[in-house]
């Protein structure tokens, strides 16, 4: 395995790289874990402890192991830089344990986030509203995590027991990876969530004095005189 850093522009690495931890004390979560899926494909995984991103069935030259990212990818990132981790220096979490497997009381909802927030804010906002409506009462979602789901059309399910929202896509054909995201829901909205959930107040117009033209009667009327006429 090479020790030099690698620049990657693949969709799967960019998506998974959005979920790495930026907490220096969680060095075991600061990168992507590459695991064997089949003889020719890999599963790429990243988590920061509050959400999980997975790209499965990926055809890649990455070897099995961990890769530290220079920085977390964003929804508009075009590339990421990573370098291999030293085996034995960390223990990646068992990510399969956080994926709910039963959704007895959940109806799947299609969430189309293929419209990016920047290019088509209207359709993006409608998709976010669909997410909010699908959440259980008194449960909230981190909108920053939702923003990191941009670029894909998802099927969303909510597991009330574990308190997690699960987003999945289906691989369209062999060689095209499928994607999965798990986001832990919150009991209280954060500051950003409160701001985005509040309706935008309508602007209040400043009152203006009406300007009217004098009537014909007003034009003929003479001004009142306060002078007293002596008798």
Look at strands 109-112 and 80-84 and give their pairing.
unpaired
pTM of the predicted model as reported, rounded to 2 decimal places: 0.79
Residue 52: phi, psi to the nearest 5? -135, 135
Query: Which is it for the CA torsion 21, 26, 32, 34, positive or negative?
Result: negative
Closest to 51 in 3D by CA, of 14, 101, 13, 17 = 17
What are the residues facing 123 on neighbouring strands?
A: none
State which CATH number among 3.10.150.10, 3.60.20.10, 3.30.70.370, 3.90.600.10 fits the domain covering 6-85+92-97: 3.10.150.10
Please tell me the predicted confidence (pLDDT) of residue 194.
53
Average pLDDT over residues 190-195: 59
- pLDDT, tens only, 98-130: 898 777 666 799 999 988 777 788 899 999 999
Q: For the chain, give every domain's residue range.
A: 6-85+92-97, 100-197
- pLDDT, tens only, 55-96: 999 998 899 999 999 999 999 999 999 999 887 778 899 999
50's CB contacts (< 8 A; 6+ apart) are: 142, 145, 183, 184
% of the chain exceeding 90 in pLDDT: 54
Please tell me the predicted confidence (pLDDT) of residue 102.
75
Counting DSSP H helices and E strands in the chain, the numbers are 5, 10
**DSSP letter at 86?**
P
């Amino acid at each position: 395995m090479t020790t030099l850093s690698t620049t990657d522009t693949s969709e799967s690495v960019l998506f998974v790289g959005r979920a790495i931890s930026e907490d220096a004390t969680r060095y075991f979560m600061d990168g992507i874990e590459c695991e064997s899926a089949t003889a020719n494909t890999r599963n790429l995984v990243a988590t920061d402890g509050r959400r999980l991103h997975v790209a499965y069935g990926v055809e890649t030259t990455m070897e099995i192991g961990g890769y530290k990212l220079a920085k977390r990818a964003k929804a508009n990132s075009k590339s990421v830089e990573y370098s291999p981790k030293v085996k034995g220096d960390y223990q990646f979490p068992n990510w399969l344990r956080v994926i709910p497997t039963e959704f007895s009381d959940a109806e799947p909802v299609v969430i189309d986030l293929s419209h990016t927030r920047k290019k088509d804010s209207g359709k993006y906002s409608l998709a976010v509203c669909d997410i909010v409506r699908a959440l259980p009462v008194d449960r909230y979602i981190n909108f920053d995590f939702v923003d990191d789901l941009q670029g894909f059309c998802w099927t969303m399910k909510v597991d009330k027991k574990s308190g997690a929202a699960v987003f999945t896509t289906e691989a369209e054909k062999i060689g095209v990876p499928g994607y999965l995201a798990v986001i832990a829901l919150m009991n209280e909205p954060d500051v950003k969530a409160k701001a985005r959930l509040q309706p935008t107040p309508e602007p209040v117009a400043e009152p203006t004095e009406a300007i009217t033209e004098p009537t014909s009667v007003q034009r003929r009327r003479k001004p009142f005189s306060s002078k007293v006429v002596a008798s």
